[in-house]
Amino acid sequence: MERRKKGGVLLVDALDVMSNLDQVLPYYQAIFSADEHTVIGYEAVGRIQTEQGIQGLASFFRDESVPEEYRIEVDNLILTKALQMHLETDPSALLFINRNANLLMQDEEDSFLNQLLAYEKQGLDLKNIVLEIREQDFTGDLNQLLHLLTYYRTYGVQLAINKVGAGMSNLERISLLSPDILKVDLSSLRQTAMLQSYQDVLYSISLLARRIGATLLYEDIDAFYQLQYAWRNGGRYYQGDYLQRFMPSFLHADILKDRLRKECHEFIVHEKRKLENIYALTERLRSRISTAMAKQKKIESFNKWLMTLSEEVTDCSFRLYVCDEDGFQKSGNLVKENGQWELVPEYEQKNWSWRPYFLANIMQMRFEKKGRLSDLYTDIDTGEMVRTFSFPIDDDQHYLFIDLSHEFLYEQDALF
């Protein structure tokens, strides 16, 4: 079987594939659950046996020069063999089937659904079939695709959007399709240079999943730290070579149960230790600010009061200001520059109620009467990862905000 090159990558020739359909077969990668640590399903992908060994068919399916009817025929052949394996081995498992959304729209005979319905007569539960598509690959009318997918789902077929977070995923389009499962690509998490920005993208995806009621499946997990990230960020399902590579057959459901339980226990211990550290830091800051405020007399000017208070927090803060409970700033910004505190008065009367969670945090402080430590975020002015400690000042609903420096948080092991 001849192969050609594209970009230095060996590709299987389309004519060779069509001439050797008897050598086409599905390979399966196990998908594991976070709650039971067992195999809950498999993703089936196309492979072909060649003289050089087993070769992938991804390039064949993505090559737009290959006639659509060729790609559909090979897709259907792989599906047939995968459904047979599924019924014979573990019909209760989920079976993830990759399809090109453009080809689904071009398949006038609707061979995908017809195949599923034929196997339903043999005992296939269509609720265990998960159709995978790449949203960013679709070039047609999204409303027409939505209509087709909705039709499939009336039979119980689930929908997964794969490679979310890779390339130019459109979260608005994904939201419109309202998939059952979002498969989040973790391959870019290997690139240290873009680590924080990519984590921000993944955080947005996790918020979207929660909003539309989709389950998060983290794929392309190739290392321990990626599995830990998936666990920390709401992943219910995990997939990748770190767990199991693609295989020609199904596995025992409990194959990694002991290992995953051990690793998840390590995650739990590590996370609890970090949370305990954050709670301890919060308590120290509450005590420290309460003591500092007790030294102050009645506040006549917030700006002067902040200047005096700055002496008590100069080792940990780089910005101080006061807001009322509606988010209006009642002081300027007291900012530390080159070790000296300077007042920036033009910030007075700016309103910050539009910030996420601002009013929720104010209300919590109002009722609890104690300070709060924010999540980690990137400061707009400095570009560094920081936290803000906020504290109720008086009965007139004024609140002190102390922006904690990156250096201080590093010393306190609070940069996570």
Which amino acid makes up residue 416? Answer: F
Contact 76, 84 (CB under 8 A): no
pLDDT of residue 191: 61
| Tens of pLDDT, residues 186-238 | 887 776 545 666 777 888 888 899 999 999 999 999 999 999 999 999 999 99
What does the radius of gyration of the chain's CA atoms come to, in whole angstroms? Answer: 28
Residue 61 has pLDDT above 80, yes or no: yes
**Confidence category of residue 9, pLDDT binned at 50, 70, 90:** very low
**Measured distance CA(226)–CA(408) in Å, rounded:** 27
Q: Say whether pLDDT at 8 is over 70.
A: no
Is the pLDDT at 84 greater than 90? The verdict is: yes
Q: Which two tokens stand for residue 328?
A: 């209006």
Q: Are 46 and 24 in contact (CB under 8 A)?
A: yes
Enumerate domains of the chain plus CATH numbers.
3-250 (3.20.20.450), 270-411 (3.30.450.20)
Please give the angle made by the CA atoms of 281, 283 and 289, to the nearest 5 degrees. 100
Per-residue pLDDT, 6: 47
* Contact by Cβ (8 Å): 34, 243: no
- Torsion, Cα 352 356 360 362, to 10 degrees, reads -30
The per-residue pLDDT of the chain, averaged, comes to 91
Six token digits for residue 251: 């596995």
Give the pLDDT of residue 11: 64
Above 90 in pLDDT, residue 2? Answer: no
Query: β-strands 129-133, 158-164: how paired?
Result: parallel
In 3-state terms, what secondary structure has residue 185? Answer: strand
Count other C-beta atoms under 10 Å from residue 97's C-beta: 24
Average pLDDT in the 32-37 region?
Answer: 97
- State residue 193's pLDDT score: 47
Kindly indicate the confidence band of residue 356, based on its pLDDT and cuts at 50, 70 and 90: confident
When mean pLDDT is compared across 38-42, 354-358, 399-403, the lowest value belongs to 354-358
Residue with the larger pLDDT of the pair 70 and 296: 70
pLDDT of residue 196: 66
Average pLDDT over residues 4-30: 80
Beta bridge partners of 342: 335
pLDDT number for residue 279: 95
The rounded distance, in Å, linking the Cα atoms of 68 and 52 is 27
First to last CA, the chain: 52
pLDDT reported for residue 199: 76
Q: How far is CA 233 from CA 35, 202, 204, 271, 317, in A?
A: 14, 9, 11, 12, 29
